Amino acid sequence: MTLETVSTSKAHGGTQGVYRHASSATGTPMTFSVYVPAHDPGERLPVLWYLSGLTCTHANVTEKGEYRAACAEHRVIFIAPDTSPRGDGVPDAEGYDFGQGAGFYLDATQAPWSANFRMRTYVEDELPALIAAEFPMADMTRQSITGHSMGGHGALTIGLRNPDRFRSVSAFAPIASAMRCSWGEKALTGYLGTNLAAWRVHDACALIADGARLSELLVDQGDADGFLDQLKPELLREACAAAGIPLTLRMQPGYDHSYYFISTFLPDHIAWHAERLQA
């Protein structure tokens, strides 16, 4: 896997890079960003994955997330992949909630999406292998994951499916139950078909009901978020309570769904993950 450096910039003593490679999972070029704090030769730092939401690319959090000072302070590498395959020949659809920009972090089984929309394999397998090969300072034995909205859905479901890989899991305004909101129903039907059993591994609440567990979970949600009817944090609260998963769900007064919200609380999440990653 040949890695192309798109750009690098010094920030808070470390390096903010943007990179591109040819993905075998998606059959397309994929772009992602990595912030690496200053470190000594041979030193290895823990990794925090950030999964973005509908319509976003790596650039949204990279440019608006305001995470670098916290990552530099706590010495955490921050990785932000794209949300879907893109480009000529990649299928797309009208609307923002399906097709390019809306991969939902799953492997599609339905034509024409199945040829390229394999974001589960990309995020769970291919990109981590590339990071391990190309960023020797990344300690892949110490990983955590977070995300926003559709990316919060991705962080929760990937974390629940891989509890031994991630030391901690958090989310910002996540889609709590993809099976019980119109965004998720549209995506799961279009990408996976109508077999509801295949949907359950892509629904955080269903995974918890089916026995998946986390040691704890941190979620921030704005109470002025215009998408609360899609996100349904109360379903996550109920699922965690029933399963005995310690959930810290912070309903933040007056905050919406934007990066003004995310950038306000992302440093808190980085500090929270860092404590668990450094242990």
Average pLDDT of the segment spanning 240-247? 98
Bond before 29 cis per omega within 30 degrees: no
The burial class, CB within 10 Å (0-12 / 13-18 / 19+), for 212 is buried
Rounded average pLDDT over 231-251:
98
| Residue among 82, 107, 203, 225 flagged as catalytic | 225
Identify the pLDDT of residue 89. 94
pLDDT value at 241 more than 80: yes
Instruction: Specify whether 210 is catalytic.
Output: no
Residue range 154-204, pLDDT digits in tens: 999 999 999 999 999 999 999 999 999 999 999 999 999 999 999 999 999
- Can you give the pLDDT at residue 126? 98
Q: Establish whether 257 is a catalytic residue.
A: yes
Strands 166-172, 217-222: pairing is: parallel
- pLDDT 10s digits, 91-107: 999 999 999 999 999 99
Name the token pair of 15: 């390096």
- Please indicate whether residue 114 is annotated as part of the active site: no
Annotated active-site residue in 149, 168, 170, 177: 149
Q: Which residues of 247-261 are buried (b: 16+ CB within 10 A; e: fewer)?
A: bebeebeebebebeb
**Domains of the chain with CATH codes:** 3-276 (3.40.50.1820)
Nearest to 177 by CA among 229, 243, 222, 218: 229
Which of 58, 74, 202, 257 is the catalytic position?
Answer: 257
User: What is the chain's mean pLDDT, rounded?
Assistant: 98
The DSSP H or E segment spanning 139 is: strand 138-147
- Residue 237, pLDDT above cutoff 80: yes
In this model, does residue 279 exceed pLDDT 90? no
- pLDDT more than 70, % of the chain: 99
What does the alpha-carbon distance between residue 5 and residue 76 come to, in Å, rounded to a whole number?
Answer: 21
Instruction: Give the angle 3-88-19 at the CA atoms, nearest 5°.
Output: 20
Confidence of residue 1 (pLDDT cuts 50, 70, 90): low
